[in-house]
Amino acid sequence: MRIGYLFIMVSIIAIITLISIPPLFFPKCKFCGRRNNISRVYCKHCNKRIEQDYISMLEKEQHFHKD
């Protein structure tokens, strides 16, 4: 009984993790809607500039904290 409960709880945590992790590391292109690696500046599918990448978010945050 305890193993079944443990299996269910671990499964729920794994599902929530799989749903929430991709948006953090694979941002979507605004134009084609496909996910790209976090380090890319241009979409690998449509070659348009990815507007909000992780590096620019960090730079904006650092400028915000300096003021």
Mean pLDDT, range 49-66, rounded to an integer: 62
Each residue's pLDDT tens digit, 2-51 = 899 999 999 999 999 888 887 777 888 888 888 888 788 888 889 888 77
**pTM for the structure as a whole:** 0.46
Q: Is the pLDDT of residue 65 over 80?
A: no
Find residue 59's DSSP bridge partners: none
Residues 10, 11, 12, 17, CA torsion sign: positive
Q: In this model, does residue 58 exceed pLDDT 70? A: no
Q: Is the pLDDT of residue 55 over 70?
A: no
